[in-house]
Structure formats: structure tokens, C-alpha cells
């Protein structure tokens, strides 16, 4: 298995969603997800407006504490508060959107490939997404074991540490890359994880490249709202909201690309297994 072939597999997989980019049906669910996430971000950002305060203030207080209702603490804490509530949004809305997107891609690649009910798939996608979030939580906790001074470091060392953190997550995520697509296409969660591990083992470099695209694109956003960029952005706290919103937009395109590519590879591997 040569490197060129692995990169070729990754490129072939990406061509699927890129070609279907003009087909709105593959975007609908993810767009609704992004709209819901943006709405939640907007609610957190403008919680103090008289029109939103009844719902916004308890939410901000619960997510960031009473200090977070004050300027500029509120905006400096916004990325953390949003990350907390975003978990709920991803579980409640994201799993549905992901399942529908995977099925939409599958229907474009090869008709009637998905099996079982959508609701059943959603439940299994939920389990796989839960496993991914737990892995992320574990990696985050592991980095919390570092000395506090190191965690708060900016500059090149801070970027390097962030890179290592995202790299570790990407490495683990590589083996679960296809589990979402498998579950979305009707496989039970445990079998989806096993199959994903199997595909990633046969295509490790191509799979890692796909996950690395996600890590590379999200790295600047994570850096800007973390210790690395806070000093530069802190003079304009409103920029934190803009960074989170831009990250949401980037994740819309990344999700489209990764789900489309992983679904294409899963279908290819299933077809290969049937031969």
C-alpha cells in the first residue's frame, strides 16, 4: 500500500461530496443544524437584550456563573459556554442531522443502500457520537494533567501543545471515522465501531488524512479562543463571538466533506466485501 494510493483514496472519497456540493439535498440537514447552533450562539451572545433576557440570563448563569452576565467576562467566556451547550445541541439535533446527511449521500452514491428505520439509525449514531465526545473529553482531561503554567502557555509552545492535543484526537478519531457512516446506514453502534476499525486498519493513511483536514481547519479557531490567541483578541471581546460563528460555518463544510467521504468509503468497502 503506497502513500500515493492512500492519498488517492482520500482524494477519491472527497470528490464525492465535492461533486454533490451543488445538490442542496445533501446540505439541508447540516444547514438546519448550523442554524440551530447559530441561534443558540446568538441567544448566548445577546442574552442581555430585553427580548431575550428571560431565556438568556438563566442559560448564561447556568453555563458560566453569575460573573458571566457582566461585560467583558461574558464574551471572554462565550466560547466555553457555547462549547458546553453545544454538546446538548449535537446530541439532540446533530445526531439526527448527521444520520439524514449520511443517508442522503448514500442515496446519491447508490440507491437504497441504507437499511432499517431512520429513528433506529439515529439512536446508533447517537451512541457513536457519544463515544467520540467521551474520547474528546478523555483527551481534554489528559491535557489537564499538565502543569497549569504549561496549559496557559501562549506563543509557539502553546500552538505546539494545541497541535499535539488536536493530533492525539485526530489519531483516535481516525479509527472511528467510519463508525458514524456505518451507524447512519443502519449498522448497530457496536458493529459500526468494529467495522470502522477494520476499514481504518486497511486504509490508515487515507483515513488519517481525512481527519487531519478537520484538525487543521479547526486549529486556528481553537488557538484564537485559547491561551494562544486570547491576549491578541481580548482587546476586542466581540471578536470571540465572531470566531465561534466562523468556526460553526467551517464545521458545516467540514461535516459535509467528512460525512460524504466516509460514507463513500463505507459503501465501497461494503461492495468490496460482497464480491
Q: Which residues bind another protein (CB under 8 A)?
A: 28-29, 32-33, 35-36, 39, 43, 48-55, 57, 69-72, 74, 92-93, 96-97, 100, 103-104, 118, 235
Least gap, CB of 52 to another protein (angstroms): 6
Least gap, CB of 240 to another protein (angstroms): 14
Least gap, CB of 73 to another protein (angstroms): 9
Q: Give the DSSP per-residue string, 142-163.
A: HHHTS-HHHHT--HHHHHHHHH
Closest CA to 214 of 6, 5, 10, 16: 10
Three-state secondary-structure class, residue 167: helix
Of 44 and 166, which CB lies nearer to another protein in the complex structure?
44
Least gap, CB of 178 to another protein (angstroms): 22
Distance (Å) of CA 102 to CA 108, 143, 182, 218, 267: 10, 32, 9, 22, 11
DSSP code, position 90: I
Q: Give the DSSP per-residue string, 228-259.
A: HHHHHHTTSTHHHHHHHHHHHHHHHHHHHHHH
Least gap, CB of 211 to another protein (angstroms): 26
Measure the CA dihedral 68/72/73/78, to 10°: 80
Of 167 and 237, which CB lies nearer to another protein in the complex structure?
237
Of 120 and 204, which CB lies nearer to another protein in the complex structure?
120
Of 59 and 216, which CB lies nearer to another protein in the complex structure?
59
The C-alpha cell of 187 is what? Answer: 449498522
Of 76 and 172, which CB lies nearer to another protein in the complex structure?
76
Amino acid at each position: 500500500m503506497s502513500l500515493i494510493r492512500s492519498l488517492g483514496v482520500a482524494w477519491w472519497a472527497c470528490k464525492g461530496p465535492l461533486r454533490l456540493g451543488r445538490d442542496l439535498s445533501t446540505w439541508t440537514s447540516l444547514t438546519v443544524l448550523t442554524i440551530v447552533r447559530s441561534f443558540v450562539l446568538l441567544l448566548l451572545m445577546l442574552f442581555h437584550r430585553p427580548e431575550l433576557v428571560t431565556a438568556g440570563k438563566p442559560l448564561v448563569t447556568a453555563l458560566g456563573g453569575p460573573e458571566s452576565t457582566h461585560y467583558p467576562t461574558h464574551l471572554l467566556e462565550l466560547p466555553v459556554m457555547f462549547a458546553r451547550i453545544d454538546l446538548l445541541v449535537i446530541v439532540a439535533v446533530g445526531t439526527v442531522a448527521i444520520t439524514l446527511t449520511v443517508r442522503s449521500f448514500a442515496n446519491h452514491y447508490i440507491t437504497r443502500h441504507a437499511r432499517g428505520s431512520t429513528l433506529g439509525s439515529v439512536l446508533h449514531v447517537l451512541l457513536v457520537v457519544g463515544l467520540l465526545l467521551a474520547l474528546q473529553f478523555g483527551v481534554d482531561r489528559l491535557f489537564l494533567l499538565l502543569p497549569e503554567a504549561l496549559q496557559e502557555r501562549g506563543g509557539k509552545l502553546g500552538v505546539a501543545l494545541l497541535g499535539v492535543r488536536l493530533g492525539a484526537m485526530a489519531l483516535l478519531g481516525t479509527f472511528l471515522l467510519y463508525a458514524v457512516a456505518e451507524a447512519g446506514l443502519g449498522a448497530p453502534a457496536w458493529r459500526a465501531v468494529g467495522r470502522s476499525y477494520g476499514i481504518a486498519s486497511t486504509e490508515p493513511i487515507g483515513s488519517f488524512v481525512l481527519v487531519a483536514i478537520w484538525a487543521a481547519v479547526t486549529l486556528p479557531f481553537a488557538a484564537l479562543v485559547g491561551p494562544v490567541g486570547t491576549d491578541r483578541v481580548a482587546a476586542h471581546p466581540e471578536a470571540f463571538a465572531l470566531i465561534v460563528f466562523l468556526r460553526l460555518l467551517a464545521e458545516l463544510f467540514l461535516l459535509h466533506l467528512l460525512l460524504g467521504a466516509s460514507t463513500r468509503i463505507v459503501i465501497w468497502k461494503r461492495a468490496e466485501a460482497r464480491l
